[in-house]
């Protein structure tokens, strides 16, 4: 794997101006990678800016598969406590134990909104407040949609909330193109079955200048977590050592990287003219993407709030 100097979270923190060309290229690469992941039968379950690695040429890679899961592996043991709270899909916030790869699409939509507006869309303080933030932004879903996902307590809570109309995305993001807003609207759909899929999103008009049919036609064997090879402690130590040696040899501050130049030459024509991203002083550091200390609310908290909702 090539050295990736930073991540999308750090890029957003710098406050540097990103053109719509940047946003198109970022979102297309994320979707392209997710298409491979989903085609192998895997849900990433942690799509956040911190898990999108970036280099100065605007190349992206998805990392941190620590929470990934086989999509076919559904059941009561499936936890809804995945991904950072601000990027959790409604079905996760509402404690639905049976969810699909569509939770990753919601994560991409949240990132798209953050790229367009330079701030996170749904900054909830706890599970209940997170659901409030989602409804405040996307509007109140139909009763049919509410009844089809989540726990009974979460459904009751949502039904007692005051009605919120669907947003006028053009007023929220006045500088965004109609195509960008349409893709955002299709990604941030409350019901997962009505949400745009990764394959459909790759073909969306917002990404037409980057789209190639081969990016959607993926033939890949399903990944089997049960067949993964478990390494001994000694093998892990050697793997870390080998990776450290490889990193030092190819470090951009100590050696040229012809392989990166070769890769950059293969970028789509629409991306070749993009300005580089300023990554000075923004080296990626090790981090835990799920906040260990965050206070989560379960079904009993939804029950507690039902009586106090207007």
- Does 245 score more than 70 pLDDT? yes
Coil, helix or strand at residue 141: coil
For residues 34-61, average pLDDT? 90
Residue 100: which of 113, 111, 89, 87 has the closest Cα? Answer: 89
Provide the pLDDT for residue 134.
96
For residues 82-92, average pLDDT? 86
Percentage with pLDDT > 70 across the chain: 69
Interatomic CA distance for residues 92 and 150, integer angstroms: 8
Interatomic CA distance for residues 184 and 113, integer angstroms: 7
For residues 213-236, average pLDDT? 64
Contact indicator for 60, 53 with CB cutoff of 8 Å: yes
Active site residue 303: no
Provide the pLDDT for residue 260.
41
**Unique residue bearing structure tokens 């070769």:** 262
* Token reading at 112: 């798209």
Per-residue model confidence as pLDDT tens digits over 96-113? 878 889 999 999 999 999
- Does 275 score more than 70 pLDDT? no
Provide the pLDDT for residue 222.
56
Provide the pLDDT for residue 257.
44
**Four-CA torsion 205, 207, 45, 114, nearest 10 degrees:** -90
For residues 1-7, average pLDDT? 80
Residue 220 contacts by C-beta under 8 Å, 6 or more apart in sequence?
Answer: 36, 39, 40
Interatomic CA distance for residues 301 and 166, integer angstroms: 27
- Does 278 score more than 70 pLDDT? no
Domains parsed from the chain with CATH numbers: 6-306 (1.10.510.10)
For residues 15-35, average pLDDT? 92
Q: Please pick, among 7, 46, 64, 132, the residue that the annotation labels catalytic.
A: 46
Provide the pLDDT for residue 248.
65
Interatomic CA distance for residues 253 and 280, integer angstroms: 12
Q: Which DSSP helix (H) or strand (E) runs through 265?
A: helix 258-265
Residue 235 contacts by C-beta under 8 Å, 6 or more apart in sequence?
Answer: none
Percentage with pLDDT > 90 across the chain: 45
Residue 224 pLDDT grade (very low, low, confident, very high; cuts 50, 70, 90): low
Estimate the crossing angle of helix 299-306 against helix 152-159, to 10 degrees.
30
In this predicted model, which residue has the larger pLDDT, 171 or 238? Answer: 171
Residue 33 pLDDT grade (very low, low, confident, very high; cuts 50, 70, 90): very high
**Average pLDDT score over the chain:** 79
* Most confidently modeled range among 129-133, 149-153, 293-297: 129-133
Interatomic CA distance for residues 60 and 26, integer angstroms: 7
- Does 271 score more than 70 pLDDT? no
Residue 238 pLDDT grade (very low, low, confident, very high; cuts 50, 70, 90): confident
Per-residue model confidence as pLDDT tens digits over 149-203? 888 999 999 999 889 999 899 999 999 999 999 999 999 999 999 999 999 999 9
Q: Which of 20-29, 45-54, 94-103, 241-250 has the lowest mean pLDDT?
A: 241-250
């Amino acid at each position: 794997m090539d050295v990736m100097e930073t991540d999308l979270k750090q890029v957003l923190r710098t406050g540097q101006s990103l053109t719509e060309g940047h946003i198109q290229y970022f979102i297309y690469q994320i979707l392209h990678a997710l298409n491979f992941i989903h085609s192998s039968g895997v849900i990433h379950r942690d799509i956040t800016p911190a898990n999108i690695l970036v280099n100065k040429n605007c190349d992206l890679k998805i990392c941190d598969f620590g929470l990934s899961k086989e999509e076919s592996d559904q059941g009561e043991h499936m936890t809804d406590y995945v991904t950072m709270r601000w990027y959790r899909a409604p079905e996760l916030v509402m404690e639905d134990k049976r969810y699909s790869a569509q939770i990753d699409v919601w994560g991409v939509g949240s990132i798209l909104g953050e790229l367009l507006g330079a701030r996170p869309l749904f900054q909830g303080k706890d599970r209940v407040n997170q659901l409030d933030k989602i409804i405040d932004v996307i509007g109140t879903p139909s009763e049919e949609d509410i009844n089809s996902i989540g726990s009974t307590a979460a459904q009751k809570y949502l039904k007692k909330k005051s009605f919120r109309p669907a947003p006028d995305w053009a007023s929220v993001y006045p500088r965004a193109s109609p195509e960008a807003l349409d893709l955002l609207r299709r990604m941030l759909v409350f019901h997962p079955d009505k949400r745009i899929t990764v394959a459909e999103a790759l073909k969306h008009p917002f990404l037409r200048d980057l789209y190639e049919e081969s990016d959607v036609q993926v033939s890949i064997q399903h990944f089997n977590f049960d067949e993964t090879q478990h390494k001994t402690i000694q093998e892990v130590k050697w793997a870390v050592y080998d990776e450290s040696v490889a990193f030092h040899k190819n470090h951009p501050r100590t050696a040229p990287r012809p392989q990166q130049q070769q890769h950059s030459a293969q970028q789509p024509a629409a991306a070749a003219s993009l300005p580089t991203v300023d990554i000075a002083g923004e080296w990626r550091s090790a981090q835990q993407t799920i906040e260990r200390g965050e206070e989560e609310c379960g079904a009993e908290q939804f029950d507690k709030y039902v009586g106090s909702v207007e």
